Amino acid sequence: MREIKVVQNILEINQAAADQNRQRLDGNGVLTINVMSSPGAGKTSFLLQTISGLKDKAKIGVVEGDVSSTVDAEKVADTAAAVVQINTRKMPESCSLIADMVTLALKDMPLEELDLLLIENVGNLICPSEFALGEHKRLVISSLPEGDDKPIKYPLIFTDADIVIINKLDLQPYVNFDIAAFRRTVTELNPRARFFEISCSTGEGIENWCSWLLGEIDSYKQRLKAS
């Protein structure tokens, strides 16, 4: 008797698509970062600072994920080597990018020209943690005005992060955010998380972040060559 699967595991399907994206990215030597945060934590400003910091040092593509609008893609259009906007509105998993959406976006990307791909996910601390996109690194931005308790309330996204960016350092005098306590909470969830403290308004910490990232692009390319 034939077995009929009524419901397939959407996360398994997504993982398969993510694996294919990853192969495609590796085939072109494009280190890819999934950039996640709450709405308004500064993802787009962070992308702009990173693009500017790596100017003439790395060619960067951007995938912009939003429920609606192209405002973020317009902001980065002048500076990135290539930009594709994804609008997730009306899609069933609209609270996150999923791997299939990125597959479509990659078709419009000149991957062979790029060193780095930054995928700006939908502003959300929950859904994006469930869906791999094919990225090499998962990055979460927390901004000081959000409060230092976010890793307690949204643990999964921090548990799976490779990089945790603490943004809006310039607002520290005006808000209650205990950076040491925040780092301690994240480290308990995820000892391998690497932290960067920055301000996209003042530029503080950006040089340090960009120089580390450039090193990661180099090691990634060396690993690809060796394999």
Q: Which residues bind a copy of itself (CB under 8 A)?
A: 6, 38-40, 66-69, 71-72, 94-95, 122-127, 143, 145-147, 149-150, 152-156, 168, 170-171, 174-175
Q: Which is nearer to a copy of itself, 71 or 104 (CB)?
A: 71
Contact 89, 6 (CB under 8 A): no
Contact 104, 77 (CB under 8 A): no
Q: Which is nearer to a copy of itself, 58 or 198 (CB)?
A: 198
Q: How far is the CB of 196 from a copy of itself (least distance, A)?
A: 19
Q: How far is the CB of 218 from a copy of itself (least distance, A)?
A: 34
User: Taking the mean position of all CA atoms in its chain, how far away is CA 115?
Assistant: 15
Q: Which is nearer to a copy of itself, 131 or 220 (CB)?
A: 131
- The single-letter DSSP state of residue 118 is E
Q: With residue 220 as reference, give the H or E element that holds it.
A: helix 206-226
Q: How far is the CB of 189 from a copy of itself (least distance, A)?
A: 11
Question: Which distant-in-sequence residues (6+ apart) come within 8 Å of 48 by Cβ?
Answer: 75, 76, 79, 200
Q: Which is nearer to a copy of itself, 67 or 81 (CB)?
A: 67
Report the chain's terminal Cα–Cα distance, integer Å: 44
Q: Which is nearer to a copy of itself, 29 or 145 (CB)?
A: 145
Q: How far is the CB of 153 from a copy of itself (least distance, A)?
A: 5
Q: What is the CB neighbour count within 10 angstroms for residue 71?
A: 11
Q: How far is the CB of 154 from a copy of itself (least distance, A)?
A: 6
Q: How far, in Å, are 24, 77, 101 from residue 80 at the CA level?
A: 20, 6, 20
